[in-house]
Amino acid sequence: MAPVGVAVPSTRMPRTDILDTILAQWAEERPDLDCSPIAVMGRVARVARMLESFYQQSFEPFGLSPSEFWLLAELRRVGEPHQLTPTELRRTLIRSSGGITKVLDRLEREGLLKRRPDASDRRGSLVQLTAKGRRLIDKALTAHIANEHELLAPMPLAERAALADLLRELSLVFETWRAERGIQTH
């Protein structure tokens, strides 16, 4: 048995997926081109598309779109008084101001959040989770986390931890790449 905190290599046999086929086809068609980044970027993009469907199905029973869920979850996550400025929400959720406004309008109509003037900034506003919004996000979050556990259950914990570390590194590499090129996030 490995000491606590030490990752144990998987003993599972590698399996193949559609990206292995795509890479083999490119190797045949363009042997002059190193297409190895597709092994990472293609899989990340493919998993992202599958996650969109997973999220839609997870949040639908609660009457929420993924964007609405993430916004309510962000307000819930920051603790009492469960409020942020629209700019803070936009930065964290990586959405345009128009995209955030649309989601805020719907959630406010549903009574899940309220907007009010920001006393510390006369031009700004604050978005605050209502009691109804808190009850809904707590139920939706509990179900969502259970769904994520179920989805990841076949993957050993050590592999999950290693994947989380690698995805963190990819995220940081991507953020650095964007910053070096002056690419702004909405």
In a domain? residue 166: no
Give backbone dihedrals phi and psi of 133, rounded to 5 degrees, phi first.
-65, -40
Write the CB contacts of 155 (distance below 8 Å, at least 6 apart in sequence).
163
Give me the sheet containing 121-129, strands edge to edge: 83-84, 121-129, 113-118
- Comparing C-alpha atoms, which of 100, 102, 103 is closest to residue 89? 100
Pair 59, 31: CB distance under 8 Å: no
Q: How far apart are CA 90 and CA 98, in angstroms?
A: 10
Predicted local distance difference test score (pLDDT) of residue 186: 56
Write the CB contacts of 85 (distance below 8 Å, at least 6 apart in sequence).
118, 121, 124, 125, 126, 127
pLDDT per residue as tens digits for the range 125-158: 999 999 999 999 999 999 999 999 999 999 999 9
Predicted local distance difference test score (pLDDT) of residue 51: 94
In a domain? residue 23: no
Q: How far apart are CA 118 and CA 179, in angstroms?
A: 30
pLDDT per residue as tens digits for the range 68-108: 999 999 999 999 999 999 888 988 887 777 888 899 999 99
pTM: 0.81
In a domain? residue 169: no
In a domain? residue 176: no
Residue 5 has pLDDT above 60, yes or no: no
Q: Give the pair of three-digit tokens for residue 91.
A: 């930065």
Residue 36 has pLDDT above 80, yes or no: yes
In a domain? residue 142: yes
Range of the domain at 101: 37-155
In a domain? residue 16: no
Predicted local distance difference test score (pLDDT) of residue 1: 46
In a domain? residue 177: no
pLDDT per residue as tens digits for the range 149-181: 999 999 999 999 999 999 999 999 999 998 899
Number of domains in the chain: 1
Q: Give the pair of three-digit tokens for residue 78.
A: 């920051």
- The CATH number of whichever domain residue 72 belongs to comes to 1.10.10.10
In a domain? residue 117: yes
Pair 19, 38: CB distance under 8 Å: yes
Q: Peptide bond preceding 81: is omega within 30 degrees of 0, i.e. cis?
A: yes
- State the first-to-last Cα distance of the chain, in angstroms, to the nearest integer: 47
